[in-house]
Amino acid sequence: MAKKRFAVLGNPVAHSRSPEIHQDFARQTGMELSYEKILVPTGKFREVATDFLALDGVGFNITLPCKGDAFAFVDHKSSSASKSRAVNTVSVDSNGQIHGDNTDGPGLVRDLVHNLNWKIEEQRILVLGAGGAVRGILWDLLQASPRYLHLYNRTLSKALVLTEQMADARMTAVDTGDLEDCYDLVINGTSAGLSGMVPRVPKKVLGKHSRCYDLVYGSGATVFNNWCSQINGCEVADGLGMLVEQAALSFHLWFSEEVHTGELISTLRKTGSS
Ligand code: NAP
For residue range 75-110, list pLDDT tens digits in order. Answer: 999 999 999 999 999 999 989 999 999 999 999 999
Quote the DSSP letter at residue 2.
P
Specify the pLDDT at position 248: 98
Specify the pLDDT at position 20: 96
Active site residue 67: yes
Whether residue 1 is predicted with pLDDT greater than 80 in this model: the reply is no
Pair (179, 224) in one structural domain: yes
Let me know the angle formed at the C-alpha of 174 by 218 and 82, rounded to the nearest 5 degrees: 65
Pair (57, 155) in one structural domain: no
Report d(CA 268, CA 128) in Å as an integer. Answer: 26
CA–centroid distance, residue 215 to ligand 1 (Å)? 9
Pair (76, 185) in one structural domain: no
Quote the DSSP letter at residue 208.
T
Contact indicator for 206, 180 with CB cutoff of 8 Å: no
Hey, is 86 helix, strand or coil?
coil
Pair (90, 120) in one structural domain: no
User: Phi and psi at residue 102, in whole multiples of 5°?
Assistant: -120, 110
Q: Whose Cα sits closest to atom 23 in ligand 1?
A: 131
Q: Whose Cα sits closest to atom 38 in ligand 1?
A: 215
Straight-line distance from the first to the last Cα atom of the chain, in angstroms, rounded to the nearest whole number: 34
Pair (115, 24) in one structural domain: no
Pair (116, 68) in one structural domain: no
Whether residue 273 is predicted with pLDDT greater than 50 in this model: the reply is no
Pair (55, 128) in one structural domain: no
Ligand 1 pocket mutation pick from 69, 115, 154 by most atoms within 8 angstroms of CB: 154
51's CB contacts (< 8 A; 6+ apart) are: none
Interval 35-85: pLDDT, tens:
999 999 999 999 999 999 999 999 999 998 999 999 999 999 999 999 999
Report d(CA 61, CA 164) in Å as an integer. Answer: 28
pTM across the whole model:
0.95
**Catalytic hit among 37, 67, 77, 83:** 67
Contact indicator for 118, 180 with CB cutoff of 8 Å: no
Cα distances (angstroms) measured from residue 205 to each of 159, 210, 229, 234, 239 = 18, 8, 13, 11, 20
Pair (119, 71) in one structural domain: no
Q: What is the average pLDDT across 116-126?
A: 98
Pair (110, 97) in one structural domain: no
Domain assignment of residue 126, given as a range = 105-238
Pair (202, 118) in one structural domain: yes
Q: What is the CATH number of the domain that holds 151?
A: 3.40.50.720
Report d(CA 54, CA 11) in Å as an integer. Answer: 21
Q: What is the CATH number of the domain that holds 95?
A: 3.40.50.10860
Whether residue 274 is predicted with pLDDT greater than 90 in this model: the reply is no
Tell me which residues have their CB closer than 6 angstroms to ligand 1.
Answer: 64, 104, 129-134, 153-155, 158, 189-192, 194, 197, 199, 215-217, 239, 242-243, 246
Pair (32, 125) in one structural domain: no
Domain tally, the chain: 2
Pair (233, 128) in one structural domain: yes
Interval 194-211: pLDDT, tens:
899 999 999 999 999 999
CA–centroid distance, residue 192 to ligand 1 (Å)? 7
Report CA dihedral (224, 225, 227, 231) to the nearest 10 degrees.
140
